[in-house]
Amino acid sequence: MQIKNLKVTTARKELLELLDNQNKPISFDDIKNEITMDKATFYRNISKFEDESMVHSFESNDKKRYYEIQRTPHAHFICNNCNAINCLHKPISLKLDGCCITDMIFKGLCKQCNTTP
C-alpha cells in the first residue's frame, strides 16, 4: 500500500503493513502488543489515513473502533452475541432515493452463536 500525500515515517509504514496483512478489521487492542508505537501515535496516524481515504473504520458492539485498509467497498456482519466481525464480499444492492450509501453493517447472530440444541 502506498502512502498518499503523507510523509513516510517508520510508524506509518509499520501501521500500514500491519493493516495490509489482516483479513478482517482490527482494533487498537487487537494489535497493541505487535506495534512499537504508543496509543497516541497509533490514533494520530490512523486519523491521517482516514483523512486520505486509505483506511476505513467503524464502531462495533463492544464500543471499540475497528480499522481496515480501504480496498473495495463491502458490508460487515457483527454478531450480537460474541462480537465477531466478518467482511461480506457478496454484492449487496440497496438504493435509497437521493442518498449515497457509504457503509453497511448488519447485526445478528453468527453461525456459531445461532445454533439451537
* Mean predicted confidence (pLDDT) in 1-13: 81
Q: Do 55 and 70 touch, CB atoms closer than 8 A? A: yes
Q: Is 10-69 a domain of CATH 1.10.10.10?
A: yes
Question: Confidence band (pLDDT; 50, 70, 90) for 2?
Answer: low
* DSSP 8-state code for residue 51: H
- pTM, 2 dp: 0.83
**Could you report the per-residue pLDDT of 46-82, keeping only the tens digit for each?**
999 999 989 999 999 999 999 999 888 889 999 999 9
Where are the chain's structural domains?
10-69, 75-108
